[in-house]
Amino acid sequence: MARLALAGAAGVAALVVAAIAVWFLGQSLTLALEAIPLSPAVSTLTVGLIGLLLAMLIALVGRIVAAPRHPAPTPASPATGVADVAAELGGLLAQRLTASSRSHPYGTIGTAVVAGLIVGALPELRSLLASLLKK
């Protein structure tokens, strides 16, 4: 759990540093365009359009990567015992949750954030979950 929190914090820090670096690159591009005979307004417009094109490219790549893939159908096997039925139900639930999270990624992220905030704000719930996970 600590490794996951550390990885998340490192990811957020990397995003902040990358955003600052992109900002400085945009400013330097604006200054470079102003060094050639372009007005400040035209150079700022050019940098803004390049930034919008880059944002659209990133969104397009994200959409392609996050596109739902059709999972291969799994052959149904007859369940014989209670453990087999429970395993099949768990597998079906996992498939449904995966399909739902892929079809609604922002809702899934929002739910995870709200759940994390609730667990983080309530120490009683945190201790209950910790005791359940230790069993």
Domain annotation covers residue 44: yes
Domain annotation covers residue 127: no
Number of domains in the chain: 1
**Residue range 6-21, pLDDT digits in tens:** 888 888 888 888 889 8
**Residue range 95-114, pLDDT digits in tens:** 888 888 888 888 878 888 88
Domain annotation covers residue 96: no
> What does the pLDDT read at residue 74?
64
Domain annotation covers residue 50: yes
In the predicted structure, residue 78 carries a pLDDT above the cut 70: no
For 61, the domain range is 9-67
Domain annotation covers residue 76: no
- What are 76's two structure tokens? 């149904």
Domain annotation covers residue 125: no
CA dihedral (111, 112, 117, 122) in degrees, to 10, reads 100
Domain annotation covers residue 17: yes
